[in-house]
């Protein structure tokens, strides 16, 4: 595949943008080579600066659940832009958005809009601290909750991709208030809770982890956390930035049948516009300003472009529950196909999959946490990534990322993907 124009753009970008990109994973550092510069996308396909077409398994890291440039969303943005792109004052559309979300997801009495998943998670943590009067939080190794200071401890995803252990710029004080435990290890959590009795404000978790590849919660793990949080007066936060409106209309809470106290959203909620949100139970949300004294604000929060994009996409998802059934079937079909060619290759592998989230690890043991994800043969993934890219399949450029399916994918696209994997594996 000719990517001369991308190479040219990448060289040029590095003179004015750090590393040539505005978010690190885009730089292809772990897989090596030149990041593809994109020009446009429609449905399941991306088109790069050289005019090459790719089948997209990143989907802007999740938001494009119905494919790119989904017409109702594009139209709605165009129409509303005429009436101003931001007011910094309340609008009826924000109420409609909040009401819509409340009608779709469990356990959200009040919801506040922000502009990114990072902001949503950092605000939820502040709220949990303000509400409980405690300082510490507990997160899981390999879970990513955005780039706020508190979360950059064993943070998975980009941080793992770049093999950064402790992040310069995060003070020891902040790092000390962040406790960690291995994903799926309820005993380790109990130990931390015992050791820091009455000090932990919140446990935050990706209910299905997507930032160390896709990793499923083992039976009893989330239930155990829920019970422990209730017992110890700890705020239980589901980071549904990835899973929200993706695993089900009501996200992981609905899909897995677990109640959270606070929930954070991003990605799908904005249909590709910068949107995040945090919400939850009234008793806790009551403490956020201006209702309470936990401060949180945003000049562009709830701006009309962001709101109409999210509102239009979520409305479509709410009114067309078949989308989730179709995504489920496509995910299962893809998994089966991947299994077939991987088995034939003789290379030890693990596929983790739930709904429209899926990933491959080259490992001969189950991948259930960050340690098992890290000890997989990720170099093999990196080689495979380029072979797939050459065949027009755009996978996330790191073994530490989940693939995201969009419902714009056809079975023909899935077959092509499986075939490309078969060919790629034969070249390894
Ligand atoms: C992407 C992601 C975030 C951060 O969202 P941004 O919009 O990139 O700030 C937080 N949590 C999870 C689980 C994510 O996948």
> Over the stretch 227-276, which tens digit does the pLDDT of each residue have?
999 999 999 999 999 999 999 999 999 999 999 999 999 999 999 999 99
Which atom of ligand 1 lies at the shortest distance from residue 146's CA? 4
**Percentage of residues in the chain having pLDDT higher than 70:** 97
Q: Are 368 and 215 in contact (CB under 8 A)?
A: yes
Each residue of 127-173: pLDDT tens digit? 999 999 999 999 999 999 999 999 988 776 666 666 555 688 888 88
Cβ–ligand 1 distance for 127 under 6 Å, the answer: no
Cβ–ligand 1 distance for 145 under 6 Å, the answer: yes
Each residue of 308-322: pLDDT tens digit? 999 999 999 999 999
- Told to judge if 239 belongs to the known catalytic residues of this protein, a careful annotator would answer yes
Each residue of 39-94: pLDDT tens digit? 999 999 999 999 999 999 999 999 999 999 999 999 999 999 999 999 999 999 99
**C-alpha 340 to ligand 1 mean position (Å):** 32
Q: Which domains does the chain have, with CATH numbers?
A: 4-69+321-427 (3.90.1150.10), 71-319 (3.40.640.10)
User: How many angstroms separate the CA atoms of 71 and 254, rounded?
Assistant: 28
**C-alpha 346 to ligand 1 mean position (Å):** 35
Beta bridge partners of 280: 110, 262
Looking at residue 234, what is its pLDDT?
Answer: 98
For 283, residues 6+ apart whose C-beta sits below 8 A from its C-beta are none
Looking at residue 175, what is its pLDDT?
Answer: 86
Confidence band for 305, pLDDT divided at 50, 70 and 90: very high
- Told to judge if 267 belongs to the known catalytic residues of this protein, a careful annotator would answer yes
Confidence band for 222, pLDDT divided at 50, 70 and 90: very high
Average pLDDT along the chain? 96
pLDDT higher than threshold 80 for residue 202 = yes
Ligand 1 binding pocket mutation candidate from 237, 267, 271, 301 (most atoms within 8 A of CB): 267
Mean pLDDT of 11-37: 96
**C-alpha 180 to ligand 1 mean position (Å):** 18
Looking at residue 159, what is its pLDDT?
Answer: 67
Cβ–ligand 1 distance for 224 under 6 Å, the answer: no
Looking at residue 162, what is its pLDDT?
Answer: 61
Q: Please identify which of the residues 29, 139, 267, 330 carries the catalytic annotation.
A: 267
pLDDT higher than threshold 70 for residue 381 = yes
Q: Mapping DSSP to helix (H, G, I), strand (E, B) and coil, where does residue 288 land?
A: strand
Tokens (6 digits) for 33: 């080579």
Looking at residue 167, what is its pLDDT?
Answer: 81
Looking at residue 112, what is its pLDDT?
Answer: 98
**C-alpha 234 to ligand 1 mean position (Å):** 22
**C-alpha 401 to ligand 1 mean position (Å):** 12
Q: Please identify which of the residues 45, 54, 57, 144 carries the catalytic annotation.
A: 144
Q: Are 248 and 324 in contact (CB under 8 A)?
A: yes
Which atom of ligand 1 lies at the shortest distance from residue 209's CA? 13
Identify the CA nearest to 118 among candidates 247, 260, 277, 311.
Answer: 277
Looking at residue 303, what is its pLDDT?
Answer: 98
E strand or H helix that includes residue 53: strand 53-56
User: How many angstroms separate the CA atoms of 198 and 138, rounded?
Assistant: 13
Looking at residue 163, what is its pLDDT?
Answer: 55
């Amino acid at each position: 595949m000719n990517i001369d124009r991308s190479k040219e753009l990448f060289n040029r970008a590095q003179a004015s943008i750090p590393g040539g990109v505005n978010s690190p994973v885009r730089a292809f550092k772990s897989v090596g080579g030149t990041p593809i510069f994109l020009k446009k996308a429609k449905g399941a396909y991306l088109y790069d600066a050289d005019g090459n077409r790719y089948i997209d398994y990143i989907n802007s890291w999740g938001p494009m659940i119905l494919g790119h440039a989904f017409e109702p969303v594009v139209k709605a943005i165009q129409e509303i832009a005429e009436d101003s792109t931001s007011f910094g004052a309340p609008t009826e559309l924000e109420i409609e958005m909040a009401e819509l979300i409340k009608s779709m997801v469990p356990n959200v009495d009040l919801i506040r809009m922000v502009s990114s998943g990072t902001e949503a998670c950092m605000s939820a943590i502040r709220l949990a601290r303000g509400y409980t009067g405690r300082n510490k939080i507990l997160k899981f190794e390999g879970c990513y909750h955005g780039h706020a200071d508190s979360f950059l401890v064993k943070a998975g995803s980009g941080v793992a991709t770049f093999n950064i252990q402790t992040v310069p710029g995060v003070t020891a004080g902040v790092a000390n208030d962040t406790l960690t435990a291995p994903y799926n290890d309820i005993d380790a959590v109990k130990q931390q809770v015992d050791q820091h009795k009455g000090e932990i404000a919140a446990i935050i978790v990706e209910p299905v982890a997507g930032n160390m590849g896709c990793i499923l919660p083992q039976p009893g793990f989330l239930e155990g956390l829920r019970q422990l949080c209730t017992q110890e007066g700890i705020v239980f936060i589901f980071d549904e930035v990835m899973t929200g409106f993706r695993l089900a209309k009501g996200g992981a809470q609905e899909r897995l049948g677990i109640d959270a106290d606070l929930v954070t959203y991003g990605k799908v909620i904005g249909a590709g516009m910068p949107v995040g949100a945090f919400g939850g139970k009234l008793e806790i949300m009551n403490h956020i300003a201006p209702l309470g004294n936990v401060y949180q604000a945003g000049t562009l929060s709830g701006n009309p472009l962001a709101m109409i994009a999210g509102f239009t996409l979520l409305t479509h998802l709410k009114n067309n529950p078949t989308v989730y059934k179709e995504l489920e079937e496509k995910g299962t079909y893809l998994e089966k196909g991947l299994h077939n060619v991987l088995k034939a290759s003789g290379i030890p592998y693990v596929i983790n999959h739930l709904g429209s989230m899926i990933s491959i690890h080259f490992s001969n043991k189950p991948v259930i946490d960050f340690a098992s994800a890290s000890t997989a043969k990720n170099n093999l993934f990196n080689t495979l990534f380029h072979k797939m890219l050459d065949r027009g399949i755009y996978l996330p450029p790191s073994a530490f990322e989940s693939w995201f399916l969009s419902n714009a994918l056809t079975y023909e696209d899935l077959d092509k993907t499986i075939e490309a994997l078969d060919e790629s594996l034969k070249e390894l």
